[in-house]
Structure 1
Amino acid sequence: MRITDIKTLVVNAHLRNWIFVKVETDQGLYGWGEATLEWKTRAVVGAINDLKPLLIGEDARDITRLSEIMTKHSFWQLGVIGKTAISGIDIALWDIRGKALGEPVWRLLGGKTHDKIKLYTHLGLGESTAVYDSLETNRVIEQALEVIETGYRALKVVFIPYINYTASLREVKHVENMMGRLREAVGNDIDIMVDFHGRPGSASAAVQFIKALEPAHPLFVEEVIQPGDPMAMRDIRNKILCPLATGERLTSAAEFEKYFMLRAIDVAQPDLCHCGGFTEAMRIGAMAAVAGIGIAPHNPLGPIAGVAALHYDIATPNFIIQERMEVVPWFHDVIDGHPDLRNGYWLLPEEPGLGIEINEDVAAQHPYKQEPTNVIQAATISDGTIVHW
């Protein structure tokens, strides 16, 4: 079963352009993957086109071999753009393999380890303004209750202010009050996660905010500092009482290994569209399990990314909870075969491969547009200093 072509389909979904990847074979089978990367759309599409000549004529069933080719024959060390390109192709290859064997991808990854998959979403179900402009307490509570009314039993908030290396008492108290009122409003049966988005510029500032959140018992706090400093993460973990998560911007098992070796986190958050697809994500999950660390995959992306995460979650014993966002009103129209969602859980799909098909007519109605930059340009503090979004 030889690869004959690799194509991309870009679909604009406001804050992100979804990059769908289609791998075609000489037997008529094809697979779909996703390689979405914010504000890097054209670069990722170019990287996929650069990888394509390495794979044309190769057997689509030899997925590990093809992952090795893409990684090692690129010569240069691959950053997030290259790894995202590889991820989209890898996911599509597993889709092909499942279709060829008549089995869902999760069975090929080792089979069922859960009967259903717990989900969480963001305020506004993921609409960008609701997610990233959530610093007003009453509005946050109102939107959280709206999420719960849709059936979710878990939600994530992003209400850490834009700061630099220190946090003022006013900022810390505002976060403490907001979290306390949110917990009171939703009750103790709802899981709350707090995404710091890497905004604190120092470990000490991150700890101040985490301590303010702890009385409300978050399920975990996420990306409390910028990625790449596992020693600082270990120091933070040793000073706090609630679970600590990171990983959405780590792109390989090698990068995760440093955190696992130090036991610097409690929850790993690989993104299948950035870390190398199923092939690398399975390694990351296994390494985390050995270190006693749970898995809660990152996914604010398109519908293929969500379905891929579902298959991964089913086969991952140390899975905890799955992120999901419906960022545009036509989210359900662009693919056929959405997973069955009931009471905040995904049920297990039984269709071969990923079990989805792209509606290319709907996709064509939303062509590429430049992603908006205003949401990240807001990351500036009062004295004009540029800080992390």
Structure 2
Amino acid sequence: MIRDNEDIARRTTGTPIKITGVKTVVVNAEMRNWIFVKVLTDQPGLYGWGEASLNWKTRAVTGAVEDLEPMLLGRDPRDIEQCVRAMNKFSYYNLGMVGVTAISGIEHALWDIFGKSVGLPVWRLLGGKVRDRVRVYTHLGLGEMKSVYETFDVGSLKERAAAVVEKGYDALKVVFIPYGAHTSPIPAQRHVGKMMEALRTTVGDGVDIMIDFHGRPGSIAAAMGFIRELEPYRPMFCEEPVQPGDTEALRIIAEKAECPIASGERLVGIKEFQPVFNQRALHIAQPDLNHTGGLLEGKRIAAAAEAALIGIAPHNPNGPLAGVAALHFDVSTPNFVIQEEMSGAVPWYDDVVQTPIRRVGSAWEVPELPGFGIEVNEAEAAKHPFKPEVMHAMSAVLEDGTIVDW
């Protein structure tokens, strides 16, 4: 592999390169589908891999990738800014989450090609190394989706949290805010407080805890009712306490809360992040590099956040290629705080992809292979073809039949 990359770098230095095709490989990871994107070139052995996974939108995203392909054919993949502009500008209509996710996966693959063509890891092309390791956190069940989204019992919570710590992590995220609307009943608040107390007692003060609200509260008051129960146990942050889009509500919560507030996984591009930064409506921004436009746009978001004294904790519940792209971004981003990862989502996680991700304790090591340093085993991937994903959101219904936010 290393010799092949060295040969590619020698052969392509100063040589025109053209994109000849863009394809997708869908891998069903039981609770969600991973969408891998492969960009092909006219240079033998030179191609790039990215990821464009978006839950419950697999066929829409793969269709978007197919629609975007003609805008790239014949272009030099190393002209990343120009390629992204072509996909955005020539599309005419605003692309939204589906289209920008497709662009993100393609853009990742272009960086992989660029790195391979010059024999350097992508993080060097993004500005170089600003840290020697990347702190990460995982979820209950080590990424197993049922544990992540369906742990509301104190006993199960303690057992699964202890298992995470035993694996060497010093930070974890939980999702135990109940479905609700514009009020938060006292029993519901008390149960959240009880869960948090049990969690802190189990893992101790040396482990950071993040609570993902998933935008479930339907009002500022409802969100604050739960936050007040959590504050005594010093969460690292409370994530998405209200639905994205209401910057004023988020700002009020950030001012009232006695713990850091995070959000941003559902925002697209610097244009949607900038108003949030201008109002100092959060403390930690969580762009998803699969969904916000790619690494270049992620770096713009991070720079704007840094100017507003806001940290960056990229969202990433996706597959192994998304993790590698985030790793390279994190190595090169000064205001990075912590990285989400779900490496235990399926037992065969590492079989479909060879990655340079190496975890020591609760941190990823800095990779040195050219490009992203990844290779997809397409034969192994084919053993896990597309399937409709589990619709967790279908459970977001109150006792009276009201459909609420998942």
After superposition, the C-alpha distances for 1:289-337 in whole angstroms (9 at most, x for unaligned) are 0110000000000000000000000000000000000210000111112
What letter is aligned with 1:20?
F
1:199 corresponds in structure 2 to: 216
- Whether 1:360 and 2:387 are equivalent positions in the alignment is no
Counterpart amino acid of 2:248?
M
Q: Does 1:122 align with 2:139?
A: yes
Look up the match of 2:34: 18
Q: Secondary structure at the match of 2:210?
A: strand
Amino acid at match of 1:66: C
**Over residues 253-273 of structure 1, what are the superposed CA-to-partner deviations in whole Å (9 max), with x where a residue is unaligned?**
100001000000000001110
Does the Cα contact within 8 Å between 2:32 and 2:55 map onto a contact in 1? yes
Code of the residue aligned with 1:279 in structure 2: it is L
Which one of 310, 317, 341 corresponds to residue 359 of structure 2?
A: 341
CA deviation map 1:44-90 (0-9, x unaligned)? 00000000001101111100011111111110011100000000000
Equivalence for 1:58 = 75
The answer to whether residue 185 in structure 2 is matched with residue 174 in structure 1 is: no
CA distance in 1, matches of 2:151, 2:172: 13
- Cα deviation for residue 285 of structure 1 reads 0.6
- Tell me the equivalent position of 2:96: 79
CA contact (8 A) 2:356 2:367 kept: no
Q: Deviations over 1:218-254 (max 9, x none)?
A: 0001011111111110011111110000011011110
| RMSD (Å), alpha carbons | 0.7
Q: Is the 8 A contact 1:47 1:85 kept in 2?
A: yes
- Out of 60, 67, 82, the position equivalent to 1:43 is 60
1:33 and 1:353 map into 2 onto residues whose CA distance is: 11
The whole-number CA distance in structure 1 between the counterparts of 2:84 and 2:224 is: 39
Matches of 1:367 and 1:281 in 2, distance apart?
30
Please state how far the C-alpha of 1:159 moved relative to its aligned partner: 0.2
> 1:281 aligns to what?
298
Partner of 1:387: 404
d(CA) in 2 for partners of 1:72 and 1:300?
Answer: 29
1:32 Cα offset (Å): 0.1
Distance 2:162 2:379 in 1: 35
Would you say the 8 A contact 2:139–2:172 is kept in 1? yes
For 1:64, the aligned partner's letter is E
Partner of 1:11: helix, strand, or coil?
strand
Match of 2:137, SS state, is strand
Q: Retained in 1: the 8 A contact 2:320–2:355?
A: no
How many Å separate the matches in 1 of 2:300 and 2:185? 41
Gaps of 5+ in 2: 1-16
- Tell me, yes or no, if structure 1 residue 27 matches structure 2 residue 43: yes
Query: Which secondary structure state, in structure 1, belongs to the residue aligned with residue 86 of structure 2?
Result: helix
**TM-score for the superposition, normalised by structure 2:** 0.95
| Structure 2 counterpart of 1:230, from 229, 237, 247 | 247
- Measure, in 1, the Cα distance between the counterparts of 2:175 and 2:320: 22
In the aligned structure 1, how far is the partner of 2:347 from the partner of 2:19? 35
SS of residue paired to 2:252? helix
Counterpart of 2:334 in structure 1 is 317
Instruction: Read off the aligned partner of 1:185 and give its amino acid letter.
Output: T
Confirm or deny: 8 A CA contact 1:15 1:38 kept in the other structure.
no
The counterpart of 1:271, out of the listed 288, 307, 312, is: 288
Following TM superposition, the consecutive aligned residue runs of length 4 or more in structure 1 with deviations greater than 2 angstroms are none
The answer (yes or no) to whether the contact 1:122–1:155 under 8 Å persists in 2 is yes
Aligned residue in 1 for 2:388: 370
Instruction: Give the aligned residue type for 1:101.
Output: V
Unaligned runs of 5+ in 1: none
Q: How far has the Cα of 1:11 moved from its partner?
A: 0.4
Correspondence for 1:246? 263
| Maintained 8 Å contact 1:332/1:338 | no
Give the superposition deviation at 1:31: 0.2
Work out whether residues 214 and 239 of structure 2, in 8 Å CA contact, stay in contact via their aligned partners in 1. yes
Q: Deviations over 1:85-115 (max 9, x none)?
A: 0000000000000000100000000001111
SS in 1 for 2:235: coil
Rounded Cα–Cα distance in structure 2 between residues aligned with 1:254 and 1:15: 31
Structure 1 residue 4 displacement after superposition: 0.3
> For 2:26 and 2:400, how far apart are their aligned partners in 1?
38
Q: How many residues align?
A: 388
User: What's the counterpart of residue 346 of structure 2?
Assistant: 328
> How far apart in 2 are the matches of 1:181 and 1:371?
32
Counterpart residue identity of residue 155, structure 1? L
Alignment of 1:135-214 (within 5 A): 135-214=152-231
CA contact (8 A) 1:21 1:88 kept: yes
Aligned-pair CA distance for 1:338:
3.7
